[in-house]
Amino acid sequence: MKTTVEIPDDLMKAIKIRAVEEGKKLNQVMRELLTSGLKTKQPKLPKVRIGVDKLNGLPVILSSKAKNGDLTPAQLSDILNEQEASYHIPSR
């Protein structure tokens, strides 16, 4: 199947260099890279529950980690840092 995809110049350059280094055709290298990328397991993102603040009607993100319903900025920062770190840990 043929399709048109916009690829940034620097990425296309890197793919072309890899094709030359491996002695393969460009479309073969691109197929291999796409296939290997799709085989890589992506981390599951936590399900986000959104509620409505009873006082002001604004949306709020509900967290099971909040003990009394309120998070301090430091607690929120810790949770976000923990989640971000888990996204960068390669799965086995």
Q: Identify the DSSP state of 62.
A: E
Annotated domain spans of the chain: 9-39, 49-87
pLDDT digits (tens, 9 = 90+) for 30-66: 999 999 988 887 777 777 788 888 888 898 877 666 5
Main-chain dihedrals φ then ψ at residue 48, nearest 5 degrees: -100, 130
Q: Which residue has tokens 């072309």?
A: 16
Looking at residue 65, what is its pLDDT?
A: 62
What pTM, to 2 d.p., does this model score? 0.46
